[in-house]
Chain A
Amino acid sequence: KQEVTQIPAALSVPEGENLVLNCSFTDSAIYNLQWFRQDPGKGLTSLLLIQSSQREQTSGRLNASLDKSSGRSTLYIAASQPGDSATYLCALPGSSNTGKLIFGQGTTLQVKP
Chain B
Amino acid sequence: GAGVSQSPSNKVTEKGKDVELRCDPISGHTALYWYRQSLGQGLEFLIYFQGNSAPDKSGLPSDRFSAERTGGSVSTLTIQRTQQEDSAVYLCASRGWDQNTQYFGPGTRLTVL
Binding site for B on A (CB under 8 A): 32, 34, 36, 41-46, 49, 51, 89, 91, 94, 98-106
Contact = CB atoms under 8 A, between A and B. Distances in A.
B42 A94 contact: no
A94 B42 CA distance: 16
A106 B93 CA distance: 18
Nearest to A36: B104
Interface string B8-40: 000000000000000000000001010100000
B95 interface: yes
Interface of B: 4, 31, 33, 35, 42-45, 48, 50, 56, 59, 91, 93, 95, 100-107, 109
Given A43-B4, A99-B95, A100-B56, A34 B101 contact: yes
Nearest to B106: A43
Contacts of A32: 100
A100 B45 contact: yes
29 contacts: A32-B100, A34-B101, A36-B104, A41-B106, A41-B109, A43-B4, A43-B105, A43-B107, A45-B104, A46-B101, A46-B102, A89-B43, A91-B43, A98-B31, A98-B50, A98-B56, A99-B31, A99-B48, A99-B100, A99-B102, A100-B45, A100-B48, A100-B56, A101-B33, A101-B43, A101-B102, A103-B42, A103-B44, A106-B42
Contacts of B101: 34, 46, 49
Contacts of A101: 33, 35, 43, 45, 102
Given A43-B91, A43-B107, A44-B91, A102 B45 contact: yes
Contacts of B45: 94, 100-102
The secondary structure that dominates the A interface is strand
A25 B82 CA distance: 33
Contacts of B95: 99
Contacts of A104: 42
A51 B100 CA distance: 9
B107 to A, nearest CB: 5
Residue picked from B33, B102, B106, B107, most chain A C-beta under 10 Å: B102
